[in-house]
Structure 1
Amino acid sequence: MRPQKILDVDMIAGLTKVFRDKGYEGASLNELAEVTGLKKASLYHRFPNGKQEMAECVLTNIDEWVDDHIFFPLLDESKSTEVRLREALKNIEILYDSGKETCVLRAFSMHSGLSLFAQQVKSGMDKWIAAFSIFGVAIKLSSTQSQQNAIQTLIELQGSLIVTKGLADTSIFKNTLKNIENRYSTE
């Protein structure tokens, strides 16, 4: 068997970039092939179900990254709540490249993408809310306040990404992360 010329990690990163930038409907097969360095036939060989399978792979990859780099640190009871929060927020900043990158959940929640990926989008948002709710309880907020803060955190993150892009000002996203840190600060 020949070794793969394109590493899966590089291929998924390229697909993610196109879907983030163009959304599901806007991402053409030509762009997806170009960014991976594969011809369309090779891309279909890797993803027999086409663009939808590529998008599902991107969603799974992002979901796993968020679990490992945001939710796990946020919920890691072996560390102080301050350290957990700072680590999770640092990784949120990495995930969105200081606000320069679009959220993949947003990219898949437009037009036909929502009908195809509604369950994954909802599940992803539910996981964000659940993780921040659990963290809120860990810092002694009531379950109601924890849930409200978690939803507000998700709204602020998503909203700040749109405003940051629209105004081309990453300080908006960075200030949002600071506001979230202040909301959960126990000091």
Structure 2
Amino acid sequence: MRTLNERADVIPVIAEVFREFGFEGTSLSRITEKTGLGKGSLYHFFPGGKDEMARTVLAHVDGWFEREIYAPLRDDAPDVAIAQMWRGVDDYFRSGRRVCLVGAFALDGTRDRFAAAIASYFTRWIDALRDALMRGGWPAAQAADSAEEVVLGIQGALVLARATGDEAVFGRALARFQRRLQRPATM
């Protein structure tokens, strides 16, 4: 096990604990077990306790998605950015083996506590994908519908892959959505 000497080292480990057990199911004892840190060390890194840990983890996820998904979709050539989105999403969610932490927080009692961060994650993704599609020549309404459908589908594929224990569901869903976004559908 890697030594966790810095706050930045602890964040990904805590994220995986929240991902596995959800916010409500994550106790400080589970976090200490998974990180190997005592409660005193955790409170040194996160004086605000579990809420601060969750906010920090959500910010960490947000930073990754901003760099790897949203910014390229907003700024890069649409075809390049969308191809990067597929690779990034597949890698981030480890081909359907990893649940969406933000999605998990959205589905339990935690949703209200972190509502702004949760809503921002989804709306920024949809908006960035919509804008990339429009720059690629899609009509605005069709781009908006398709962007929402894709983000919804990715999240649903994650849930279905996890629920059925069939990670291939996620890969098949990504492939379907990728084909749909290759060009605007004709009406």
What TM-score, normalized to structure 1? 0.91
Aligned counterpart, 2:105: 108
Aligned pair 1:131/2:128, yes or no? yes
Which segment is superposed worse, 109-118 or 17-26? 109-118
Identity %: 30
Q: 1:28 to 1:137 in 2, by over 3 A?
A: same
Q: Is the 8 A contact 2:106 2:118 kept in 1?
A: yes
Structure 2 CA distance for aligned equivalents of residues 6 and 175 of structure 1 = 40
Alpha-carbon deviation of 1:41?
1.2
Alpha-carbon deviation of 1:141?
1.2
Alpha-carbon deviation of 1:117?
0.7
Structure 1 residues 13-162: aligned runs within 5 Å = 13-77=12-76, 79=77, 81-162=78-159
Structure 2 CA distance for aligned equivalents of residues 38 and 29 of structure 1 = 10
Aligned pair 1:169/2:166, yes or no? yes
Structure 2 CA distance for aligned equivalents of residues 126 and 118 of structure 1 = 12
SS in 2 for 1:59: helix
Structure 1 CA distance for aligned equivalents of residues 107 and 137 of structure 2 = 37
Gaps of 5+ in 2: none
Structure 2 CA distance for aligned equivalents of residues 105 and 127 of structure 1 = 13
Structure 1 CA distance for aligned equivalents of residues 46 and 96 of structure 2 = 30
Q: Is the 8 A contact 2:4 2:35 kept in 1?
A: no
Letter aligned with residue 124 of structure 1: Y
Alpha-carbon deviation of 1:111?
3.1
What TM-score, normalized to structure 2? 0.91
Q: Is the 8 A contact 2:126 2:151 kept in 1?
A: yes
Q: Is the 8 A contact 2:79 2:136 kept in 1?
A: no
Aligned pair 1:178/2:154, yes or no? no
Letter aligned with residue 181 of structure 2: Y
Alpha-carbon deviation of 1:5?
4.8
